[in-house]
Structure 1
Amino acid sequence: MAIISDYEEDQTDKKPQPPPSSSSSHTPPKTSTFTAAFDPQNPIKIVEGVLDFLGKESDFLEKERAEKEIFAVRGCLCCDRNVFGVLDSIGIPNKGNGLDLEKYSWTQTLQEVNVQIPVPSGTKSRFVVCDIKKNHLKVGIKGQPPIIEGEPYKPIKVDDCYWSIEDQNTISILLTKHDQMDWWKSLVKGDPEIDTQKVEPENSKLSELDSETRQTVEKMMFDQRQKSMGLPTSDEMQKQEILKKFMSEHPEMDFSRAKIA
């Protein structure tokens, strides 16, 4: 697993300019430098810092134009986290419909969440702290700060959960969802989230589900595709059909202002 380290913009090659001589009538232009640290847990922060810097220091843009451009980019950041190529993977689920983070990775099905946590080689189960509760999860190594701690995205069925050590270098945890009809956006609240509209259930596993669950999953997949194309969901289509039928049965009524809620 790749670990992104914090970094700072290198300013060592920029030498301070000597002050102008008293005999010189030319005042050199004011120069400003930008320094920022990259936080892998909050990568959007460095982009916002750049925008703030440009808004305050850019002399090459008119103030009004600069403010409009910065406002527009910030709007994009709220809607699409894939701006400037900085956040290419944020929000996009991994192959297991979860997310690969610096300290752990997780995947999910509608019924379960699987967590993989790398630990030092040779780690044994007696060194592990794994506290699983309905609304709280804490995992780590004894005597060290927790690797994961917080409220799960949704409640857990504690009696149907378990954990183990794999190859003495990975803590593997299986969490059973209490509500088995929802996709989780994150493992614990406050961690980076995925876009659940981009979740792709494995078709091969649909046949293993009971008919009711399978219908629910297929409906969710259909609605996700419809939303991504800006088209009505199955529920919205059903409402439209009901309204059309009612309109045909009552031609004497005016439906010109009718709206589908």
Structure 2
Amino acid sequence: MSTSPPPEERAKADAEERAQEQAEQAALPYKWDQTIKDLDITINIDAKYKGKDLDVKISRNALKVGIKGQDPFLDGELPHAIRVDESTWTLTSTGSGKEISIHLDKANQMEWWPHVVTSAPKIDTSKIQPENSKLGDLDGETRGMVEKMMFDQRQKEQGKPTSDEQKKQDILDQFKKQHPEMDFSNAKMG
């Protein structure tokens, strides 16, 4: 039976993963944030550019954002489909330049995205803390169901057992401890 590392080692590994993840995300030419329902991207550009200088294409499964004649800031497949009619982009002036803001409305509003485009470094979606205000609006039973669905989805994405599968495994492990004389080497979990 495999043993998990002590909590302090796990916390150190988590901190290292988080630091690496933050460094990878900081190196991207854009910043992004998401809720369970949508995703927002911001890109800072020089103040001299106008809307007509930009090359922005938002489609159901892909996104391209750039300045005409230059390498795009973002160009690739989206990890999941979006609702194009509900997705928008704007160009606004900031104190030091201009900012391209892209708002993507997720088609499936029950999943976290590990990245904006599939070619970008992933974030660990299992570490996302849902906004309490949104989940708090749900009644206890619905909220529990949503949190379980989100947990199960994250587990599946990582190839780990869902909460129900884990529960079965925990019951079996408990039974094995109580009955060390029994041989479970050929047992199949169904």
Which ranges in structure 1 are unaligned for 5 or more consecutive residues? 1-79, 244-254
Once superposed, what is the RMSD of the aligned Cα atoms? 4.0
SS at match of 1:91: helix
Contact 2:126 2:151 in 1 (8 A): no
Higher relative contact order (CA 8 A, sep 6+): 2
1:90 and 2:90 are equivalent in the alignment: no
Task: Report the Cα offset of residue 237 of structure 1.
Answer: 5.3
The C-alpha deviation readout for 1:114-169, integer Å capped at 9, x for no partner, is 10111112432222211000111110112222111010111111111001112251
2:60 counterpart residue number: 134
SS at match of 1:89: helix
- Distance in 1 of aligned mates of 2:61 and 2:155: 33
1:195 and 2:124 are equivalent in the alignment: yes
Question: Taking structure 1 as reference, are residues 256 and 148 closer, same or farther at Cα in structure 2, changes over 3 Å only?
Answer: closer
Task: Report the Cα offset of residue 256 of structure 1.
Answer: 9.5
After the TM superposition, which residues 37-56 of structure 1 pair with which residues of structure 2 at under 5 Å, given as runs? Answer: none
1:105 and 2:31 are equivalent in the alignment: yes
Contact 1:114 1:174 in 2 (8 A): yes
- Distance in 1 of aligned mates of 2:141 and 2:58: 29
TM-score by length of 2: 0.66
TM-score by length of 1: 0.50
Point out the structure with max Rg over C-alpha: 1
- Distance in 2 of aligned mates of 1:177 and 1:259: 38
1:260 and 2:189 are equivalent in the alignment: yes
- Distance in 2 of aligned mates of 1:159 and 1:213: 28
- Distance in 2 of aligned mates of 1:180 and 1:93: 28
1:147 and 2:147 are equivalent in the alignment: no
- Distance in 1 of aligned mates of 2:171 and 2:70: 60
- Distance in 1 of aligned mates of 2:139 and 2:55: 36
Which ranges in structure 2 are unaligned for 5 or more consecutive residues? 1-9, 173-183
What letter corresponds to residue 174 of structure 1 in structure 2?
H
Task: Report the Cα offset of residue 181 of structure 1.
Answer: 1.7
SS at match of 1:214: helix
1:205 counterpart residue number: 134
After the TM superposition, which residues 47-66 of structure 1 pair with which residues of structure 2 at under 5 Å, given as runs? Answer: none
2:6 counterpart residue number: none
Task: Report the Cα offset of residue 221 of structure 1.
Answer: 5.8
Identify which range, 101-110 or 183-192, moves more after superposition.
101-110
- The structure whose residues are more often strand, as a share, is 2
After the TM superposition, which residues 4-43 of structure 1 pair with which residues of structure 2 at under 5 Å, given as runs? Answer: none
1:176 and 2:112 are equivalent in the alignment: no
Contact 1:132 1:138 in 2 (8 A): yes
What letter corresponds to residue 20 of structure 2 in structure 1?
I
Question: Taking structure 1 as reference, are residues 193 and 236 closer, same or farther at Cα in structure 2, changes over 3 Å only?
Answer: same
Contact 1:163 1:173 in 2 (8 A): yes
What letter corresponds to residue 89 of structure 1 in structure 2?
A
Task: Report the Cα offset of residue 235 of structure 1.
Answer: 1.4
